[in-house]
């Protein structure tokens, strides 16, 4: 085992066991979530982030059922709303690493407005989009990323609506960080999540996730046969937006994974606020009486 790999388990301030939970997983056998949970923990340990400095937010869906199977401070919120609750938290205390998880059902339907505006605002959080191409927790309805010709619980003839290519969509919105990874590749997932945590801005990570129970179309093996890593592309430059947009398109023959795009000049939302430029404190540390300011503002009225 290389020294790099060791830091996945044991680091200066934190080790993998600090993120352990006694609770028993409730996912299906061979669910992609096991790999995602493992990679998330490894990434946090590798980044030397203690559980007390982690705030993980979970949407409703199978990902959310992992909210009590991992250490760290956590919030398990409402369907589609993980992005705004996580950004509100991140803005209040930037000392914590905020990771939000949501599925394709929540993110591409009820939560799609939040996604669009979070990309615009470039909030400094890491967003793990668990894309298993269906609503698994409600037993297999089609989501916006389900392929059209696949019969699903609520659409036995296949869904009449077009399929949404998440990565392509995210890039078209000008995301400052866009990565795609695969739940079957814990090593790559770990490194991609680490890069997402380090990125200053809204890091969007699409995880192509197999769903052994409800997704018989794009299975673990199906992805295995099609994915490749951008490092396999000669001289791939992930600061080049056009190349990223280009390789993000193919979701059926050769599927690109890795950090497709990272804007080296990304400025996160909190640094864009002109009125907060001189503050080194966090909002959570600033709750006290500002009576003098109120009095001063009051005195300006005529």
Q: Which residues bind other proteins (CB under 8 A)?
A: 23, 51-55, 57, 60, 64-65, 67-68, 71-78, 81, 84-93, 95-96, 113-114, 116-117, 273-276, 279, 282-284, 286-291, 293-299, 301-302
Taking each helix axis as running N to C, give the angle between helix 112-121 and helix 82-92, from 0 to 180 degrees, rounded to the nearest 10: 30
Q: How many angstroms separate the first and last alpha carbons of the chain?
A: 73
User: 78 or 164: whose CB is closer to other proteins?
Assistant: 78
Q: Between residues 31 and 60, which has the closer beta carbon with respect to other proteins? A: 60
Shortest approach of other proteins to residue 295 CB, angstroms? Answer: 6
| Closest separation in Å from C-beta 141 to other proteins | 20
Closer to other proteins by CB, 231 or 284: give it: 284
Contact in structure between 17 and 52 (CB atoms under 8 Å): no
Nearer to other proteins, 65 or 131 (CB): 65
CB 82 within 8 A of CB 102: yes
Pick 53 or 217: Cβ nearer other proteins: 53
Q: What residues contact 280, with CB distance under 8 A and at least 6 apart?
A: none
> Is the CB of 118 or the CB of 208 nearer to other proteins?
118
CB of 274 to other proteins, least distance (A): 8
Taking the complex as a whole, the smallest distance from the CB of residue 114 to other proteins amounts, in Å, to: 6
Tokens representing 99? 């990771």
- What's 217-266 look like in SS3? CCCHHHHHHHEEEHHHCCCCCCCCHHHHHHHHCCCCCCEEEEEEEECCCC
Closest CA to 173 of 204, 199, 219: 204
CB of 69 to other proteins, least distance (A): 9
Alpha carbon separation from 167 to 17, 75, 96, 206, 284 (Å, rounded): 33, 26, 27, 7, 34
Q: Least distance (Å) from other proteins to the CB of residue 94? A: 10
């Amino acid at each position: 085992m290389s020294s790099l790999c060791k830091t996945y388990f044991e680091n200066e301030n934190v080790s993998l066991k600090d993120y352990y939970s006694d609770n028993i997983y409730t996912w299906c056998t061979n669910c992609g979530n096991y790999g995602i949970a493992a990679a998330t923990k490894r990434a946090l340990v590798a980044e030397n982030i203690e559980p007390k400095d982690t705030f993980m937010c979970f949407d409703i869906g199978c990902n959310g059922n992992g909210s009590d199977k991992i250490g760290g401070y956590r919030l398990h919120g409402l369907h589609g709303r993980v992005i705004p609750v996580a950004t509100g938290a991140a803005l209040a205390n930037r000392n914590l690493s905020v990771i939000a998880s949501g599925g394709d059902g929540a993110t591409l339907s009820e939560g799609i407005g939040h996604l669009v505006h979070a990309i615009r605002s470039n909030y400094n959080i890491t967003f793990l989009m668990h894309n298993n191409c269906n609503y698994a927790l409600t037993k297999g309805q089609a989501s916006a990323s389900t392929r059209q010709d696949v019969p699903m619980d609520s659409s036995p003839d296949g869904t009449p609506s077009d399929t949404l290519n998440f990565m392509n969509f995210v890039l078209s919105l000008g995301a400052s960080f866009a990565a795609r990874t695969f739940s079957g590749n814990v090593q790559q997932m770990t490194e991609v999540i680490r890069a997402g945590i380090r990125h200053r801005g809204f890091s969007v990570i699409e995880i192509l996730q197999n769903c052994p129970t409800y997704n018989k179309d794009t299975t673990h093996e199906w992805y295995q046969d099609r994915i490749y890593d951008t490092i396999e592309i000669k001289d791939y430059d992930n600061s080049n937006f056009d190349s990223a947009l280009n390789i993000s398109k193919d979701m059926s023959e050769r599927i690109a994974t890795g950090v497709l795009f990272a804007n080296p000049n990304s400025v996160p939302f909190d640094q864009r606020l002109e009125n907060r430029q001189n503050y080194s404190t966090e909002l959570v540390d600033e709750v006290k009486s500002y009576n003098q300011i109120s009095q001063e503002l009051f005195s300006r009225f005529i």
